[in-house]
Structure 1
């Protein structure tokens, strides 16, 4: 009979909430941006997310976006830190100085509140939230009142994620976010990078300029990019820091990472509200790949492109936006 549990503990010196269900374990770090830092199979030894060792914790604290599943809000890059919205221009800090951009928003490095955690039957869960108002440091740079809530549930069918954004203010606010999901390659003990292939429901590839901002035009896809939309491609066929439109297949928006040696596929099934994919693979050096579902295009408020086409939208006062995703394994060995 499947069992589950949820408890507070310590992970590499950080306060953590541990979830267990059947053979699976997941770990969330509430004080490090609500990052779901680990998703493992304790029987097979598979570690699906890139986790920092004790020696790597300094690197994690400096750059948490390439570990676990950090939430980016607002996501990716904004030219000169400019964020036009509803006739105003908000100035975000330029934290990517080599390109004069703002990068990745504010929520992935600040503490989140643990609202609840527990277990029932075969499922364990945790809910964390961050509330931004006039008293929060984030408000000085992004002056909107809102709540972002994350719920993770772990069960025999893998890891389920639910994210909601609620506008707590009295004026429309932008609702732009992404997850910088960082997957181990290989994720299975005894496998090699050459044993892996991946698929992605990508559509067209955006052309990017020298500042990694979209020009508004599309590029011709390489044969490997066409392959990743079909039978699959090598995750490290070249250095990838590419941005694509999302093109769901059979009503689903997903990535599949397959270990051919073990005959297992990790599926990352995200909602169709994510209109874009960013794909990053550590410069092609191996070790991990980041399929990043994004609501909006990079630099969306500055592009002048049609809002519906690029996922640029907002919430009216009191409105809530919600989306779900799941990580699970197909053909899991017994």
Structure 2
């Protein structure tokens, strides 16, 4: 790979974007739409690793930016009746999923982020983005904490690295619940089909979910197909998935992998062991994309009566920082 690298600002289908280039690799992030990393491509092979909106879909994407690129979810997934009480404080969120009467996916993926820098050298290209919430921000009314979220994306010989940090600036402890609704193309190669790919993830136990897609506190046995997904790999569209799992890292790595057997290439999504849970959704076995979603916490965590350790519930005291690093890269498949 050539190590030519650059960064620049240029619209992505009409939306302001910052672009990263490194050799054949290219990525674009949208600061005005929740710092969504909307594109990750390899021009040398024609691979498009993330599900991108078509030009005519941009208005729909802006209205609901949850199923393209890499949206930042905070707090992630569903909260029963849009509310929870923690540390003597009650939090109330808008009901944005009327069919379940839940709040879904929080606010970081829809609001405007700042671009702190973008820069390139011979080793990499990178962009840093951040958003700070305080009393002057509209979301403070339902998340009454002062904090800063920072994201840094880096392109290099090692693929696409993502570094996220959350710091509490307030006097009171703050709940920290985070996920990424990462939408991966499967297949990602232009001439491959759904039959050419297999999928593996370091899932553990499957959570039982209610009709409102909230954890009951119980577990369900894995199907034979899910067991194969866990142990080896399997076609990702063999069953419909909208499932919640514990994470079970192997060799110290918490990963989801898509192998395109036609081209002999494996896409590795190494999310880091700070994420204790997975949601995995394959859009009703659509055959085109799936979302392996690393989550720090159990869905509806504050309302579920299990230990904080089991549900991955994190409390940040004043000044404390939570941080994790993930990476998307390809290797030749055996």
Fold-level match, TM-score > 0.5?
yes
Whether the 8 Å CA contact 1:264–1:331 is kept in 2: the answer is yes
Cα displacement (A) at 1:7: 0.6
Distance in 2 (CA, whole Å) between partners of 1:81 and 1:190 is 43
2:175 paired with 1:174: yes
2:207 alignment counterpart: 206
2:247 paired with 1:246: yes
Distance in 1 (CA, whole Å) between partners of 2:167 and 2:178 is 13
Distance in 2 (CA, whole Å) between partners of 1:206 and 1:156 is 37
Cα displacement (A) at 1:53: 1.3
2:31 paired with 1:27: no
Distance in 2 (CA, whole Å) between partners of 1:84 and 1:300 is 11
Q: Report matched runs for 1:179-328 at 5 Å.
A: 179-328=180-329
Cα displacement (A) at 1:246: 0.1
Alignment gaps of 5+ in structure 1: none
Q: Deviations over 1:62-94 (max 9, x none)?
A: 221100000000000000011221022211111
Distance in 2 (CA, whole Å) between partners of 1:267 and 1:215 is 31
Task: Give the secondary-structure state (helix, strand or coil) at the position aligned to 2:165.
Answer: strand
Alignment gaps of 5+ in structure 2: none
Task: Give the secondary-structure state (helix, strand or coil) at the position aligned to 2:66.
Answer: helix
Task: Give the secondary-structure state (helix, strand or coil) at the position aligned to 2:231.
Answer: coil
Q: Deviations over 1:157-177 (max 9, x none)?
A: 100000000001111000100
2:54 paired with 1:86: no
Cα root mean square deviation, aligned: 0.8
Distance in 2 (CA, whole Å) between partners of 1:196 and 1:63 is 28
Distance in 2 (CA, whole Å) between partners of 1:120 and 1:267 is 25
Distance in 1 (CA, whole Å) between partners of 2:286 and 2:327 is 27
Q: Stretches of 4+ moved more than 6 A in 1? A: none
Distance in 2 (CA, whole Å) between partners of 1:85 and 1:114 is 32
Distance in 2 (CA, whole Å) between partners of 1:137 and 1:286 is 39
2:123 alignment counterpart: 122
Cα displacement (A) at 1:239: 1.1
Distance in 2 (CA, whole Å) between partners of 1:249 and 1:152 is 25
Task: Give the secondary-structure state (helix, strand or coil) at the position aligned to 1:61.
Answer: helix
Q: Deviations over 1:228-277 (max 9, x none)?
A: 11220111111100000000001100001000110000000011110000
Cα displacement (A) at 1:99: 0.3
Distance in 2 (CA, whole Å) between partners of 1:194 and 1:20 is 31
Cα displacement (A) at 1:304: 1.3
Distance in 2 (CA, whole Å) between partners of 1:78 and 1:25 is 36
Number of residue pairs matched by the alignment: 332
Distance in 2 (CA, whole Å) between partners of 1:156 and 1:285 is 32
Distance in 2 (CA, whole Å) between partners of 1:317 and 1:300 is 22
2:66 alignment counterpart: 65
Residues 122/3 of structure 1: CA separation in 2 closer, same or farther (3 Å cut):
farther
TM-score, scaled to structure 1: 0.98
Distance in 2 (CA, whole Å) between partners of 1:207 and 1:184 is 27
Cα displacement (A) at 1:329: 0.1
Q: Deviations over 1:108-145 (max 9, x none)?
A: 01110000001011300000001000000010111110
Distance in 2 (CA, whole Å) between partners of 1:305 and 1:266 is 35
Distance in 1 (CA, whole Å) between partners of 2:294 and 2:62 is 23
